[in-house]
């Protein structure tokens, strides 16, 4: 197999929060995989930064543990660790900054990855600038959550823009790094088959589901101040909606793509309360309830949300987008299901279309696409109809291709390449908050309590009713 890995230029990557949970689970393994894939120039370096006072060997031992994998080649691990160094820095004080400034090399791509809490974004950006570490070409990457509401997102944007220009700022939404999400753009804009059908005259509705089977256990304190609307809908589901609904950009460049996504967010209608179902999981069997896991025994934070969203433009008027996400659901499923309209006239007497054509784009599990079609039920007995699927699971159909990269791997390499296409622009984030804020404010003002649903179910009753009143049904979650 010929490798299609495109090497990136030599870089100095400074990873703030290098001892944290995200770095351990995603960033270090992702960097190691790219190194093994041969994507790094071997003069590249990764400087881990955090508050703890650690020597290089102790830190490298931690990184080695994070990238531990029985299949990993020990020689490769050792070579990777040679690129890794550590500096202890106080993000809000003066300790360590001079050492970092001295460690940076001229004429090398500089990227600062802020895998730390958002209250450190401003202080770190200012210190990078003040100490002459940030250059006009360096990049700064920030993790979610990007704000709690419109006001706080504006503050974060202003803090970052004081020291970096927009073309240097990379706001991560790891959903955009998923292979299938990028495939959605390829499906729409590299094929002539679907685009003529991609509008309200041919599409009845769209369902976007991100269902998780896990609870918030262990993250209760954070989650209780967030909830499904802030944690998932305003960012991840919004991005999936944008990529599904946007107009074709004139070219595949960061701003052309992001301009089109922004137009979708700006075209969203306010969502009336009767078009939203809000839920909170309750104990079922062995499993605890949200209130057992939350830091607040009277919490009214939602762990589930379903809503009907209208995109008010010529392409989509009359075609609702139903969004649904939640914790402790029956299964772990992320997908976009595009429901095409039924044929206008049935010529087969006594038969009904079992289900119109549905194109399902699966993000997890088993990334791939399925097109549900109606065919003749095989065999004798007259003209009966049944459903058959054209199925493409990427792992099966692209056996010879390289294994898809994890979203973080892909996105970090994009940062080094200087490609912002799969990162959210500041105005997109603010617009998404401007849409979400009134919904959240409505719940706060009304004191609305989420409806309880069983752990392991498909969500609260209200979510089913939301669809039923429109004469539609959710796709099942899991089998």
Please, which residue, 33 or 205, has the CB nearer to ligand NAP?
A: 33
End-to-end Cα, the chain, rounded Å: 36
C-beta separation of 459 from 329 below 8 A: yes
Please, which residue, 271 or 432, has the CB nearer to ligand NAP?
A: 432
- Separation CA 368–CA 212 (nearest Å): 18
CB of 142 to ligand NAP, least distance (A): 8
Interface with ligand NAP (CB under 6 A), residue from 39, 44, 60, 115: 115
CB of 50 to ligand NAP, least distance (A): 3
Is 69 annotated to bind a ligand? Reply is: no
User: CA torsion angle for 466, 469, 472, 477 (degrees, to 10)?
Assistant: 30
Residues 6+ apart with CB under 8 A from 264: 241, 242, 245, 246, 311
148 is catalytic: no
Residue 333's alpha-carbon distances to 65, 295, 377, 392, in angstroms, are: 30, 27, 29, 17
Which member of 33, 148, 205, 236 is catalytic? 236
The dihedral of CA 451, 435, 207, 267: what is its sign?
A: positive
Q: At what angle do helices 426-446 and 238-245 cross, to 10 degrees?
A: 120
Instruction: Tell me the backbone φ, ψ of residue 461, rounded to 5 degrees.
Output: -55, -40
- Separation CA 121–CA 145 (nearest Å): 11
| Cα 250 from chain centroid (whole Å) | 24
Please, which residue, 110 or 236, has the CB nearer to ligand NAP?
A: 236
For position 118 contacting ligand NAP by CB under 6 A, the verdict is yes
Please, which residue, 181 or 458, has the CB nearer to ligand NAP?
A: 181
For position 302 contacting ligand NAP by CB under 6 A, the verdict is no
For position 177 contacting ligand NAP by CB under 6 A, the verdict is no
For position 50 contacting ligand NAP by CB under 6 A, the verdict is yes
Left (φ > 0), alpha (ψ -120 to 50) or beta: where does 438 sit? alpha
Interface with ligand NAP (CB under 6 A), residue from 81, 116, 306, 415: 116
Residue list 1-40, contact with ligand NAP (CB under 6 A): 17-23
For position 55 contacting ligand NAP by CB under 6 A, the verdict is no
Please, which residue, 9 or 58, has the CB nearer to ligand NAP?
A: 58
For position 385 contacting ligand NAP by CB under 6 A, the verdict is no
For position 90 contacting ligand NAP by CB under 6 A, the verdict is yes
- Separation CA 434–CA 147 (nearest Å): 12
Known binding residues for substrate: 174, 178, 212, 231, 327
Binding site residue list for NADP(+): 17-24, 51, 144
Binding site for ligand NAP (CB under 6 A): 17-23, 50-52, 89-92, 115-118, 143-145
Catalytic residues: 236
Binding-site positions read 17-24, 51, 144, 174, 178, 212, 231, 327
């Amino acid at each position: 197999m010929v490798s299609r890995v495109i090497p990136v230029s030599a870089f100095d990557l400074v990873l703030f929060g290098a001892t944290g949970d995200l770095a351990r689970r995603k960033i270090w393994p992702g960097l190691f995989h790219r190194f093994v894939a041969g994507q790094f120039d071997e003069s590249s370096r990764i400087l881990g930064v955090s508050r703890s006072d650690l020597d290089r060997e102790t830190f490298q031992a931690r990184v080695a543990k994070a990238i531990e994998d029985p299949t990993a080649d020990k020689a490769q691990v050792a070579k990777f660790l040679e690129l890794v160094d550590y500096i202890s820095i106080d993000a809000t004080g003066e300790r360590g900054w001079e050492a970092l400034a001295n460690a940076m090399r001229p004429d090398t791509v500089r990227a600062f990855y802020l895998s730390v809490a958002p209250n450190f974004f401003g202080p770190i950006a200012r210190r990078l600038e003040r100490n002459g570490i940030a250059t006009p070409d360096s990049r700064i990457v920030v993790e979610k959550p990007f704000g709690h509401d419109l006001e706080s997102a504006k503050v974060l944007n202003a803090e970052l823009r004081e020291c970096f220009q927009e073309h240097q700022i990379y706001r991560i939404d790891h959903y955009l790094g998923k292979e299938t999400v990028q495939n959605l753009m390829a499906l729409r804009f590299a094929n002539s088959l679907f685009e003529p059908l991609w509008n309200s005259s041919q599409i009845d509705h769209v369902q976007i589901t991100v269902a998780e089977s896990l609870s918030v256990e262990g993250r209760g304190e954070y989650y209780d101040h967030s909830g499904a609307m802030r944690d998932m809908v305003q960012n991840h589901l919004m991005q999936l909606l944008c990529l599904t609904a946007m107009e074709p950009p004139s070219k595949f460049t960061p701003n052309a793509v992001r301009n089109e996504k922004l137009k979708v967010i700006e075209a969203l209608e306010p969502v009336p309360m009767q078009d939203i179902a809000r839920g909170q999981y309750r104990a079922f069997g062995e499993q605890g309830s949200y209130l057992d896991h939350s830091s607040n025994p009277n919490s009214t934070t939602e762990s589930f949300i379903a809503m009907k969203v209208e995109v008010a433009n010529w392409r989509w008027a009359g075609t609702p987008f139903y969004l649904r996400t939640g914790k402790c659901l029956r299964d772990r499923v992320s997908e976009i299901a595009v429901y095409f309209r039924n044929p206008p006239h049935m010529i087969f007497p006594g038969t009904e279309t079992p289900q119109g054509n549905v194109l399902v784009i699966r993000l997890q599990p088993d990334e791939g696409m399925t097109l549900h079609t109606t065919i003749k039920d095989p065999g004798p007995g007259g003209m009966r109809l049944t459903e058959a699927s054209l199925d493409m699971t990427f792992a099966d159909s692209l056996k010879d291709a390289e294994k898809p990269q994890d979203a973080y791997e892909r996105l970090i390499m994009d940062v080094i390449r200087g490609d912002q296409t799969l990162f959210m622009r500041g105005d997109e984030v603010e617009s998404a908050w401007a849409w979400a804020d009134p919904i959240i404010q409505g719940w706060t003002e009304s004191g609305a309590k989420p409806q309880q649903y069983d752990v392991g179910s498909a969500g609260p009753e209200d979510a089913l009713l939301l669809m039923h009143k429109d004469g539609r049904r959710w796709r099942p979650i899991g089998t």
